[in-house]
Every structure is written in C-alpha cells, then in structure tokens.
Amino acid sequence: MCGKVKLLFLIVGVCAVWVSSAFAGRRVTSLSGPGWTCDGEAVTVPHCWNGIDGADGEPAKPVGTNAYDRYGMSVSPNTYVRKAAVYTRALPDPTPGRRQFVRFGAVSREATVKINGRLAGTHAGAFTAFTVEVTDFLKPSGNTMEVVADNRYNPDLAPLSADYTLMGGIYREVEWLETPPVCIDPVTDGADGVTLDVNTNGTVVATVRVLGPGHAVGILASTVKQTFRFPSPELWSPEHPKLYSVHIEIASGDAIDVPFGFRTVEFRADGFYLNGQKRKLRGVNRHQDVGAHGWAATAEEDERDFALIKETGADAVRLAHYPQSRRVLDLCDRLGLLVWCEEPAINWLAKSAAFKANLLQQAREMVAQNRNHPCVFAWSLFNEIYNSVPPDRAEEGWMEAILAESRDLMKALDPSRPIVAASDRQPRRLLNDLPDQLAFNAYPGWYGDTTMRQDIEQWFAASGRQMMGIAEYGAGGNPFEHLDPLPPGRLDPGGPLHPEETQVKLHAADYREIVAEPRLWGTFIWAMFDFAADARREGGKNGINDKGLVTRDRAVKKDAFYFYKANWSAEPVLHICSQRATETVNAACTVVGFCNCGPVTLVANGRPVGTQVPDVVKVVRWTDVPLRKGENVLELRTDDGRISTRRLVR
C-alpha cells in the first residue's frame, strides 16, 4: 500500500479530560489460538464442530419433527450436530484508564458473551463480525470470558434453509482491543468506525465515528468528516489492484489504518463497466467451507483458495450465500478479484417482525463492514427465493416487501454500488424486478433437459430485461467416477454416479453459449470447490455438493478446472482429460483435451492419430481411438513441445 495520509481530528471538549501520554494509542491483541475450551474440552479458535459430521451425509435420526425438519434442506437439525456450545477462556488484565473490547470475526449462528458470569452482549447472525465492550465487566485481574455459540434452528434467523451445512462455532478470529476512553468506534454494526467515500478524481471523504467517554451510562458518539485529496491516483482493477491507505488518528491517540482503492463500477445499457471500460465478468462461486476444518479456515487455507481462483484466470468471485471474512475481502482487494457480496436471504423468509429485523441487521452489518473494500462491485439481495418454500408461505408479495426494505437499506448505506440478486424463478416478476441487475441460476442438462441457449432465451423473455448475468451454472463431478462413452440423455443428478466426463461435457456446452451471448454481463461457475451439504446422498460420496472445479480437500483439480484455465488464463495450457480413468474393457476410447497454445496432435502408443485446432472454447476431441491389449499411452502434443499424457490399461 502507498499514499498513506495522516488525519488528525480534534474532538473538542473531550480530549483534554481523557488523553494522557501513558494511554495514547490503540492496542490490538489476538485472542485466537489455544487457551480455549469448548464444552470443557481444549480447542484452538477459530473452531468449528461440524467439519466432519457436517459432510458425512449420515441419514437423519428420527427424533421428532418440526416445521424446519419438514421444509429444510441441508440444515436439517438431525443430520449433524446442532447445539449450544459453551466456549471459555481467560482474558488479558485490563490497563487502568483504558477501554476494552472483544471483536469476533463471526460466531455461528448466535452468540451470547459473558464476562465473569455477567452478560456483556449478544449477536444473532452467522456471517458478520460484532464487537462487545467489556470495560465495565472486568476485574483488575483473573477475568474469564464465556461465549455460547448456538447453531440450532431459529425461526427468526436467516437463513431458514439452505443447500449447505450451517456449521457451528467461533469460526473466525477473535481480538482484544484496548483504546483510550475517547476512541474511534469499534462497536456500531461490527465495523471499524470509518467510512470512506472515494472519487477517482482523487477526492476522499472520511466519515469517522467517535465514542465519547460516557460508556458507563451508554455509548455516546459523534461524527467527524474530513475531505482530502490524492493527486493523480492510479485506478484499482483485476489487472492492476492498486491499493492506498489512510491513517486516521484522533486527538486521544486512538488510530487505525484504512486501506482502499480508486475505481468506478456501473451497469450501462449494454453491460458492466469498471473504470469506464466494459468487461464481461468471468466468475466463480465460493463457499467458506475449507474441508476438515469446516468454516474455521486458517490464513493459509484462505490464501490457497484464492490463489487457485486466480490460477483459473477468473476476475470475479461470488461469496455465496453470505458475507465472508475480512481476511477474504482483503485477499480479493490485493489479488484483484471483483466481489459479489450477498446477504443470507436464501430459499424463503419468515413473516415475523423479529425475522425481518434480523435480516435488516445482517444487511446493515454486511455493508458497514465491507463498504471500504474496492473489490466489492455489488451487494446481493437474495438467492433462489421460493425454493423449498413451505406451501403455506408461498403466496406472492410479502417476501418481496421484506426484500425491498433490505434493498432500500443497502442503497441508503451505500449509493455507490448496484444491487444484484440470483433467481431461479422465471415467472416471479415481482421478485425479479427488485434488484438493479438480475442474474439467474441455470443447470441445463443436469437438473433439466433444456440447453443453455434455451435457458438464456427463456430468462430474457420472462424477465423483460435487456441484459442479465448467470449467477450459477455447472454440474456434479466426482473425479474418481468415469464413463466412456457417456450414455445418451441425462444422468440422474441425485443418483450415485457423477462421472467427471459429464461435468466436462456440460461445462463446455454451457460455455459455448456464454461466450456467444453479448447480453450477459457476467457469469459465475457453481462452484469453485466442493463443499459440505450434509443432506445430499449422491455422486458416490454422501454429504457433499460435488459441483466444484476442485475437491473439498483441495487435493484434486478436476478436468473442468483446466477447461476454464485454458479459456481464461494467459498461461499456456495443454491438458488431456480423464487421467484418473486408468482401466477400461473397451476396444476404443474417447480423448478430450483443452489447449490455448496452438494446434494439438494426438499420439496413441507412439503413432500420430490426427491434429486438431482447438474450438472456440479451447476443446479438442477424438472419438473411437483404438486401444491395444495392455497399457496404452495417449499423448496430446503441441508444436512448442508441450505434452500431456494419459495412461490407460485395457
């Protein structure tokens, strides 16, 4: 980062009372790591208790039903452990004359925080940060914090159902903050207390919320604004993710650094524009599930995930279906990945006033906490509303009214970004007209017998829109299941067989239509990584949604990964498919490969079979390639000496 600017704000009538050199500045200490217990057992935080059982696909136990059991999907409370777990740990000794706060990156799904047995704060919502002031609950030493993390079903808490495992735990980082008595607000909406309005002419307006000294009788806050300029700023983009930083300091000595970038995002009549340049977004969807750790990702695991996303050549990522961690947004800022950031309104909503209040709270926290990130190009309003909705909740209008309130709140908090949404309901015009820009979810050839071309035309006709995105498309793929030749017709997506060759076939067919369609402003593959969906019983491995380009443990890049790398990346790619299919009883086979670096020659057992120029989506394909008894060596070769090899024993 560069362009650091120091802004000194004098809070008149406050600083003189409270500031002394001994107490100046802010101290942030990590409370993550060892030193915690969960239900009496030693654990390391971040911690998640569903990394294994939330992805094993064990059938539900018959322990009774309720409305949620009947209508939920992967979040059924009986398929994996859903409980209220008690975490405890000791706290640092407080510095006299200072204020103390505990910041939680996220607790799923509800949190109750007690200090020395006294209630200090609560939070409802699994995906946003929150901060609790603990100053008045602390003793000079020997302090203990107890956090109850509860991921049980709550009819007033979004999401109500989802096709992913709602894991439990203190699964993001925890921090201890000490500040002067007058400080930059770390509490409101779980945000940092500083909002930046950035103009590409170099003007930046910082709005700073300051907490006064009245915390003992309720938080008092004032707001200070400051305008400053950066001469000739460089613009942030995926190709040049230039970041700046401002150093915000108030007269008490409290200070924070706020990174940001200069860029513009907008939708025009013909598409999406970044910094005034039209681009068709090449995106993937990413769940925060990282395998055995579940939602409790380490920094190394997050960095690995986004390095893999960048390796494909993607320039955008949809954080489905909820806000993800500050570390993830920081990575996207640095790597140059445009982010679709989504509130957790999925499948259906509840009519209660408490549910609506919580959804609006989660929307407000999402925007407040992530607004300064240049990577965020849009806020997302919903995903697949009316999917799995109980019959008594399906009447039109009332869910749209709640979502309209959420949309208006997002726009009021951040007028600079558009509102998008992902729909799978073509006839629902009242729903589909809510966002500024609509994207649809389509799985042609997987969940239905249509083609991507048919789906595109049907969606444009039903929506009345001149441009749209595709928020999800793809197919299941188990890299250890194979079929050659593929059978005619469509496989059962809920069946035990998800051959990798089917995933390749459908992605190639879908992407041929995507590249040919100028009315699409962006498309997002479902999904980048396999993830836990404990209710699923399919594809040879229960408890997993296997539509990822990479396996849940990140050990295998599937063939479809290389398909997109060949299409999106500037790196030369030559890849022969089905390398894990090592045995066959057939006398001939199909050879499929991807190449973005010139004509490709197939050589079978040392003999040239033929040369092809890759098609518009970088695919080469030979059918009925004869095989001899024993081992066969199939090679794809390019003129510049690249070779990709498959070995197949007949």
Is residue 580 in some structural domain? no
Closest-CA residue to 504 (of 617, 598, 589): 617
- Reported as a single tens digit per residue, the pLDDT across 455-469 is 999 999 999 999 999
Do 385 and 461 share a domain, yes or no?
yes
Whole-number pLDDT of residue 16? 25
The DSSP annotation for 38-81 comes to ETTEEEEES--S-TTGGGS-PPPP-S---HHHHH-STT-TTSS-
Whether residue 113 is predicted with pLDDT greater than 50 in this model: the reply is yes
Write the DSSP string, 130-166: EEEE-GGG--SS--EEEEEEE-S--TTSS-S--SS--
Q: Give yes or no: residues 321 and 252 share one domain.
A: no
**141 and 284 part of one domain:** no
pLDDT digits (tens, 9 = 90+) for 355-406: 999 999 999 999 999 999 999 999 999 999 999 888 878 888 999 999 999 9
Give yes or no: residues 174 and 202 share one domain.
no
Q: Are 256 and 288 within one domain?
A: no
CA distances from 472 to 285, 318, 373, 519 (A): 8, 9, 24, 16
| 520 and 400 housed in the same domain | yes
- Look up residue 549 and give its two tokens: 């380009």
Reference 299, options 27, 1, 30; nearest CA is 30
556 and 615 in a single domain? The answer is no
Q: What is the DSSP letter of 290?
A: -
| Contact status, residue 498 vs residue 511, Cβ threshold 8 Å | no
The one-letter amino acid code at 489 reads G
Task: Report yes or no on 343 lying in a domain.
Answer: yes
Q: Is the pLDDT of residue 71 over 50?
A: no
Q: Are residues 329 and 374 in the same domain?
A: yes
Question: Does 439 reside within a domain?
Answer: yes
Q: What does the pLDDT read at residue 257?
A: 95
Share of the chain above pLDDT 70, in %: 92
pLDDT at 75 over 90: no
Two tokens at 632?
């066969």
| CATH number of the domain within which 82 lies | 2.60.120.260
pLDDT (mean) for 52-63: 72
pLDDT exceeds cutoff 80 at 546:
yes
Same domain flag for 425 and 507: yes
Grade residue 220 by pLDDT with cuts at 50, 70 and 90: low
**What proportion of the chain, given as a percentage, has pLDDT over 90?**
88
pLDDT at 243: 98
603 occurs within a structural domain? yes
pLDDT of residue 1: 42
How high is the mean pLDDT of the chain? 92
- 579 part of a folded domain: no
In this predicted structure, what is the pLDDT of residue 59? 63
Number of independent structural domains in the chain: 4
Residue finishing a domain among 127, 159, 184: 184
The tokens 């408490």 sit on which residue? 354
* pLDDT of the residue at 215: 53
pLDDT confidence of residue 67: 32
> Which of 19, 50, 98, 525 is closest to 295 using CA atoms?
50
Q: Which two tokens stand for residue 265?
A: 């995002």
Quick: pLDDT tens for 225-269. Answer: 999 899 999 999 999 999 999 999 999 999 999 999 999 999 999
DSSP H/E element including 513: helix 500-515
What pLDDT band is residue 54 in, cutting at 50, 70 and 90?
A: very high
Domain assignment present for residue 578? The answer is no
pLDDT at residue 19 is higher than 90? no
Q: How far apart are CA 645 and CA 53, in angstroms?
A: 38
pLDDT tens-digit map of 592-632:
999 999 999 999 999 999 999 999 999 999 999 999 999 99
Cβ distance 469 to 523 under 8 Å? yes
Per the structure, the complete domain to which residue 604 belongs is given by 588-649
In terms of C-beta density within 10 A (0-12 exposed, 13-18 middle, 19 or more buried), how is residue 259 classed? middle
The CATH number of the domain where 613 resides is what?
2.60.40.10
Q: How many Cβ atoms are within 10 Å of 553's Cβ, its own excluded?
A: 11
Residue 165 has pLDDT above 90, yes or no: yes
Do 444 and 478 reside in the same domain of the chain? yes
CATH code for position 423: 3.20.20.80
pLDDT of residue 316: 98
* Residue 212 domain-assigned (yes or no): yes
Residue-wise pLDDT for 426-438, tens only, equals 999 999 999 999 9
The residue-averaged pLDDT of 547-553 equals: 98
Q: Are residues 288 and 154 in the same domain?
A: no
Please tell me which residue, 449 or 219, carries the higher pLDDT value.
Answer: 449
Residue 391: per-residue pLDDT: 82
Among residues 408, 452, 548, 430, which one has the least CA distance to residue 55? Answer: 548
The tens digit of pLDDT for each residue in 500-521 reads 999 999 999 999 999 999 999 9
- The two structure tokens encoding residue 150: 């509860």
The average pLDDT across 468-483 equals: 98
Residue 305: in which H helix or E strand, if any?
helix 299-312
Position 67 in a domain: yes
Give the whole-angstrom CA distance, residue 272 versus residue 278.
Answer: 6
Q: Which of 233, 265, 297 is the last residue of a domain?
A: 265
Residues 593 and 535 in one domain: no
Decide which of 184, 208, 223 is a domain's last residue.
184
Please say if the pLDDT value at position 217 is more than 60. no
Band (pLDDT 50/70/90 cuts) for residue 78 is low
Task: Work out whether strand 203-211 and strand 183-184 pair parallel, antiparallel, or are unpaired.
Answer: antiparallel
Q: What span, in angstroms and rounded, lies between the C-alpha atoms of 514 and 508?
A: 10
